Amino acid sequence: MVLAGLLLALPLASIQGLDEALAAADALAEAGDPAAARRRLTAALARAEDRGEILGRLDEIRGRLGAWAFQASIPSPGPEELLAAEVRSFKEKGLKVRLAWDWESLSPAEPNQDFLHLGDRWLFRVPLTGDLKLTAEGTWTDPPQRIALLCGFDRGGESGWSFCPGFKREKIKPVLTLPRRLERIGSPFEILATATEDLVEPSGDWAWTVELRRGSFSFKKGSRKLGSWKTAYPDRTDGYAGFEGPGLRRLELSGQLDPAAWGALRDALLERRRQRFLNEEYRFEEDMPAWYGELQTASAARPPFRPPAGVPAAAAAAWAELLDPDLAQAPEEWAEDHGGLAPAALAYAGALRARAHGEWALCARLAREAREGGLEDFGPLHEIEQTALFFLGKRQPAIDALRRLLPAWPDDAGYALARLEGRVHGPRRMLEVLDEAVAAGGLSPRIADTRRTLRAALARAEEEGVTRFSGTVLHLFAEADPDFTNEAGRAAVSAIRFINRYWSRIRQPREPLVVLQFNSEESRVRFCSRAGIDQDASGYLPGLRLSLVVLDPEKTDPSAPGPLFSALWFQHLDSTLDVERIPRWFLHGFAGVLGGCTSMGAGLELRANVPLIARSAENEAGFFFTPRQLVTLPEAEWDKHAYWAECESYLLLRYLWAHAPKEQQALLQAYAEALFDGRTRAEAWQALFGRIDLEALQEELAGFRQAEIDAL
Q: Residue 601 and residue 550: Cα distance in Å, rounded?
A: 23
pLDDT of residue 13: 36
Q: Residue 134 and residue 474: Cα distance in Å, rounded?
A: 48
pLDDT of residue 125: 94
Predicted confidence band of residue 187 (pLDDT cuts 50, 70, 90)? very high
Cis-peptide, bond into residue 303, ω within 30° of zero: no
Q: Residue 364 and residue 392: Cα distance in Å, rounded?
A: 9
Cβ neighbours of residue 55 closer than 8 Å, sequence gap 6 or more: 438, 439, 440, 441
What's the chain's average pLDDT? 92
Q: Quote the percentage of the chain above a pLDDT of 70.
A: 98
CATH class of 298-460: mainly alpha
Cβ neighbours of residue 319 closer than 8 Å, sequence gap 6 or more: 305, 306, 307, 311
* pLDDT tops 80 at residue 471: yes
Alpha helices in 440-520 (DSSP H): 445-458, 482-502
Read off the pLDDT of each residue in 462-482 and give the average, rounded to a whole number: 94
H helix count then E strand count, the chain? 29, 23
Q: Quote the percentage of the chain above a pLDDT of 90.
A: 81
Q: Residue 302 and residue 7: Cα distance in Å, rounded?
A: 41
Q: What is the DSSP string of 236-300?
A: G--BEEEEESS-EEEEEEEEEE-HHHHHHHHHHHHHHHHHHIIIII--GGGGS-HHHHHHHHHHH
Predicted confidence band of residue 275 (pLDDT cuts 50, 70, 90)? confident
Contact 702, 623 (CB under 8 A): yes
* pLDDT tops 80 at residue 1: no
- Give, in order, the Cα–Cα distances in Å from 359 to each of 262, 383, 569, 678: 56, 15, 21, 5
Region of poorest pLDDT, from 155-169, 218-232, 270-284, 450-464: 270-284
Predicted confidence band of residue 2 (pLDDT cuts 50, 70, 90)? very low
Read off the pLDDT of each residue in 504-517 and give the average, rounded to a whole number: 96
Read off the pLDDT of each residue in 288-311 and give the average, rounded to a whole number: 92
Q: What is the DSSP string of 38-94?
A: HHHHHHHHHH---HHHHHHTHHHHHHHHHHHHHHHH-SS--HHHH-SSEEEEEETTT
Predicted confidence band of residue 578 (pLDDT cuts 50, 70, 90)? very high
Per CATH, the number for 79-257 is 2.60.120.560
Over the stretch 286-297, which tens digit does the pLDDT of each residue have?
Answer: 999 999 999 989
Over the stretch 327-362, which tens digit does the pLDDT of each residue have?
Answer: 989 999 999 999 999 999 999 999 999 999 999 999
Q: Residue 690 and residue 707: Cα distance in Å, rounded?
A: 26
pLDDT of residue 359: 94
Predicted confidence band of residue 436 (pLDDT cuts 50, 70, 90)? very high
What are the residue ranges spanned by the domains of the chain? Answer: 2-73, 79-257, 298-460
Over the stretch 197-217, which tens digit does the pLDDT of each residue have?
Answer: 889 999 999 999 999 999 999
pTM of the model: 0.77
Over the stretch 213-236, which tens digit does the pLDDT of each residue have?
Answer: 999 999 999 989 999 999 999 999
pLDDT of residue 665: 92
Read off the pLDDT of each residue in 566-570 and give the average, rounded to a whole number: 97
Phi-psi domain of 585 (left: phi exceeds 0; alpha: psi -120 through 50; beta: other): alpha
Higher pLDDT pick, 29 / 2: 29
Over the stretch 20-52, which tens digit does the pLDDT of each residue have?
Answer: 999 999 999 999 999 999 999 999 999 888 888
pLDDT of residue 440: 92
Higher pLDDT pick, 330 / 532: 330
pLDDT of residue 167: 96
pLDDT of residue 491: 96
Q: What's the one-letter identity of residue 176?
A: L
Cβ neighbours of residue 627 closer than 8 Å, sequence gap 6 or more: 652, 689, 694, 697, 698, 701
3-class DSSP string for 346-376 = HHHHHHHHHHHCCCHHHHHHHHHHHHHCCCC
